[in-house]
Structure 1
Amino acid sequence: MKTRRIFLQKASLSAMALAVPTFNPLSAMTDIMNTHSKDPKTLRVAIMGLGSYGTRVAEAIQKCTRTKLVGVISGTPSKVEDWKVKYNIPAKNCYNYENFDAIKDNPDIDAVYVITPNALHKDQVIRVAKAGKHAISEKPMAVNAADGQAMVDACNAAGVQLLIGYRMHFEPNTLEVIRMRKAGEFGDIRFFQGLCGFVIGDPNQWRLNPELSGGGAMMDIGIYAINGSRYMIGEEPTWVTAQETKTNPEKFKEGIDETITFQLGFPSGVIASCLSTYNMNNLDRFYLNGSKGWVEMHPSTGYGPIKGRTDKGPLDEPIVTHQTVQMDEMAAIIFDGKKPEVPVNGEEGVKDMKIIDAIFKAVKTGEKVQLNLS
């Protein structure tokens, strides 16, 4: 590495010393290496839905090296005007929910990140796909597995990619735990616990409207425990049981779950015991137990920093802005064909939706529901 660095330095000095544009092989080599090391293709993104999370993503993109915010789609004209100024977005890249199909004729936009209420994702992603643009859908990708599969099918038919906003799939401490598990450092996995919840505020927000959210805590915070159990254990569950508790039916109306405890069974015999709630704070914890060791992550899925410890000591991977890493990694997936350690494609999203469908069915019937995620 030292020899290579000295070589490049000499090449650079040689190029600067030349007074005439005579061909210099050392300078040419430097140019070639620089061409391959910089200016990878940039993912030009329009954000659809300019709420709190859309704003968080927009801010994170400002630190990206391979992703650029170039457009907005919103039903609120004042937000569009604010974002145009704040992020220097040209008027021709601004759309509303009625006219955004026109992105088909806009070569400045490569992909649309859909960050709207859950029930809107299906139709919006399908429209994005028909416009010939890659789609990124915030999770959960839809309100049920059938809608999720329709989104996958539409993107496949249009020849575009569908990615899901699984930011934890790129988080360094999470990836280190997955590496340790794959390396056998925890031995045979025996048990997983996922606790996800907080006390939700404004009773009039869209998350408490079943027509927009498709459910309550499960469709918001509970999906982290579902998805986390799969990547922490490294298997796909084959059955689920679930129980619902509702202490405030006025706030948590029909179709909005307040608290659900659920259990997942895996082929190796591992059991996952999880909790999803809108009625308890300080619940953001994963625990994985194996025959040779254990890991606890707390916080496990919050915006950061993620903290954790194993039987061997603390996790101390770099602290990152999750959405910044996610967006640059998605650029590599779309343009370079990069394969992430844990998938973030539409098929991955459909698997989680199948589990959520089964959890709701188990709550309703009181029975163990079999799963087939293949």
Structure 2
Amino acid sequence: MNSRRDFLQKLTGSALAFSLLPRYANSSILHMHAYEGPVLRVALMGLGSYATRVAEAMQACQKAKITGLISGTPAKLKTWQGKYNVPDQNCYNYETFDAIRNNPDIDAVYVLTPNALHHDEVIRVAKTGKHVICEKPMGLNAKEGAEMVTACKAAGVKLLVGYRMHFEPNTLEIIRMRNEGAFGKIKFFQGLSGFRIGDPKQWRLNKQLAGGGSLMDIGIYSINGARYMTGEEPLWVTAQETKTDPVKFKDGVDETIQFQLGFPSGAVASCLSTYSMNYLDRFFLDGENGFAELQPATNYGPIKGRTHKGELNYPHIAHQTRQMEEMSDILLAGKQPIVPVDGGEALKDLKIIDAIYQATQTGKKVELSAL
């Protein structure tokens, strides 16, 4: 698996920095003393580049640890075993991982494989009785997403999705300010999500594995961001696709999509998803009484923000560290996050993705209530 983006960030943080965190950003990782509570025991499925980032970030966790590994590559399993001290009996391949049902060392499985594999793997994990964390997009479409949510509910397990930005302190501060009316009536959101993708042979440019192109990878950040920044669910979608390199971006693999969303309050969003332009990582929220901006808005950090009241400079801690600590509390202690990260939240994004693709194909406005 190739890197999503080349943002490499060291874990940082200090007692002084922790004291500056906003109220909505209180994270379970910010302990000033040793943690002695329950620990979420996690098996990572799919040991590629993003799994590497997750694994490294989890070394700073107090409430979550790696206790299992699932991979189709024996040599990779051996390497990761040694690095993260995972015993042989907790290592599986894709043919044998159903046996985790009998493994008390594993509470949850984090599915980090290509998009097209999520559906079947999440359902298989659910049937073992283990909780599931799945990378986004949760599935290839809303039909798959609904089946995944139903399967996890039937199995009595929780399904969470890797929405790391839902725990990011600058983002949460803007949400707090919006909820308190600091921006007044929200009128407009802009989301720009893009980068120039490299290796043309990577799975993200393979329709069978990715389910699409830029929208299924980087564009989902603007879709999800439009929802949590405005605090509303869209009613309609319009969209236009542009393709300048049909050799690299074959049929069914979108290069660039512009899309627009309309919300019940009358607010509108204008967003861009692309695999052919760099320096596109910006959210802008405009209200009658103020504004908020994040730039960068969703990369691996540090995230930078400002509002009409001044700069937001909350300390950076690896997003995956925050995510896994918070997900431990959600799964083990029933904590409710400020912004949901469950399968139902992901299903809403998949419905919008379906609508965007439909709009690009028909050239017509798509009413989300009809989906």
Q: TM-score by structure 2 length?
A: 0.90
Query: 1:303 is paired with a residue of what secondary structure?
Result: coil
- Out of 330, 339, 350, the residue aligned to residue 333 of structure 1 is 330
- Out of 102, 106, 120, the residue aligned to residue 105 of structure 1 is 102
Residue 363, structure 1, aligned to residue 360, structure 2: yes
Question: Unaligned 5+ residue runs, structure 2?
Answer: 1-33
Residue 287, structure 1, aligned to residue 284, structure 2: yes
- Post-superposition Cα deviations, 1:193-215, rounded to whole Å, max 9, x if no partner, equal 00000000000000000000000
The more displaced of 318-327 and 261-270 is 318-327
Residue 251, structure 1, aligned to residue 245, structure 2: no
Contact (CA 8 Å) 2:186, 2:286: kept in 1 or not?
yes
Distance in 1 separating the partners of 2:58 and 2:314: 22
Q: Which residue of 1 aligns with 2:29?
A: none
Q: Which residue of 1 aligns with 2:14?
A: none
| 1:255 shift after superposition | 0.6
Q: Which residue of 2 aligns with 1:183?
A: 180
One-letter code of the match for 1:162?
L
| 1:56 shift after superposition | 0.3
- Post-superposition Cα deviations, 1:193-251, rounded to whole Å, max 9, x if no partner, equal 00000000000000000000000000000000000000000000000000000000000
Residue 235, structure 1, aligned to residue 232, structure 2: yes
Tell me: CA distance 1:62–1:233, structure 2 relative to 1, closer, same or farther (3 Å): same
- Out of 38, 47, 50, the residue aligned to residue 50 of structure 1 is 47
Query: 2:369 is paired with a residue of what secondary structure?
Result: coil
Residue 145, structure 1, aligned to residue 147, structure 2: no
Contact (CA 8 Å) 1:236, 1:373: kept in 2 or not?
no
Q: Which residue of 2 aligns with 1:15?
A: none
Contact (CA 8 Å) 1:216, 1:257: kept in 2 or not?
yes
Aligned positions of 1:149-298 closer than 5 A: 149-298=146-295
- Post-superposition Cα deviations, 1:136-179, rounded to whole Å, max 9, x if no partner, equal 00000010011011111110000000000000000000000000
One-letter code of the match for 2:257?
I
Larger Rg, first or second structure (1 or 2): 1
Q: Which residue of 1 aligns with 2:312?
A: 315
One-letter code of the match for 1:207?
R
Query: 1:372 is paired with a residue of what secondary structure?
Result: helix
Q: Which residue of 2 aligns with 1:120?
A: 117
Contact (CA 8 Å) 2:35, 2:62: kept in 1 or not?
no
Question: Unaligned 5+ residue runs, structure 1?
Answer: 1-36
Residue 345, structure 1, aligned to residue 342, structure 2: yes
Quick one: higher RCO (CA 8 Å, sep 6+), 1 or 2?
Answer: 2
One-letter code of the match for 2:334?
G
Contact (CA 8 Å) 1:354, 1:373: kept in 2 or not?
no
Contact (CA 8 Å) 1:237, 1:371: kept in 2 or not?
yes
Distance in 2 separating the partners of 1:321 and 1:38: 19
Contact (CA 8 Å) 1:351, 1:373: kept in 2 or not?
no
Q: Which residue of 2 aligns with 1:27?
A: none
Residue 301, structure 1, aligned to residue 298, structure 2: yes
Aligned residues: 339
Contact (CA 8 Å) 1:112, 1:133: kept in 2 or not?
yes
Q: CA RMSD in A?
A: 1.2
| 1:59 shift after superposition | 0.5
Distance in 1 separating the partners of 2:42 and 2:322: 15
Distance in 2 separating the partners of 1:319 and 1:263: 31
One-letter code of the match for 1:231?
Y
Q: Which residue of 1 aligns with 2:37?
A: 40
One-letter code of the match for 1:260?
I
One-letter code of the match for 2:126?
A
Contact (CA 8 Å) 2:111, 2:132: kept in 1 or not?
yes
| 1:373 shift after superposition | 9.5
| Percent identity for Structure 1 against Structure 2 | 67
| 1:372 shift after superposition | 2.9
| 1:38 shift after superposition | 4.2
One-letter code of the match for 1:137?
C
Query: 1:226 is paired with a residue of what secondary structure?
Result: helix
Q: Which residue of 2 aligns with 1:132?
A: 129
Distance in 2 separating the partners of 1:201 and 1:316: 32
The more displaced of 223-232 and 317-326 is 317-326
One-letter code of the match for 1:259?
T
One-letter code of the match for 1:97?
Y
One-letter code of the match for 2:105?
D
Q: Which residue of 1 aligns with 2:28?
A: none
One-letter code of the match for 2:38?
K
| 1:253 shift after superposition | 0.1
Contact (CA 8 Å) 2:233, 2:263: kept in 1 or not?
yes
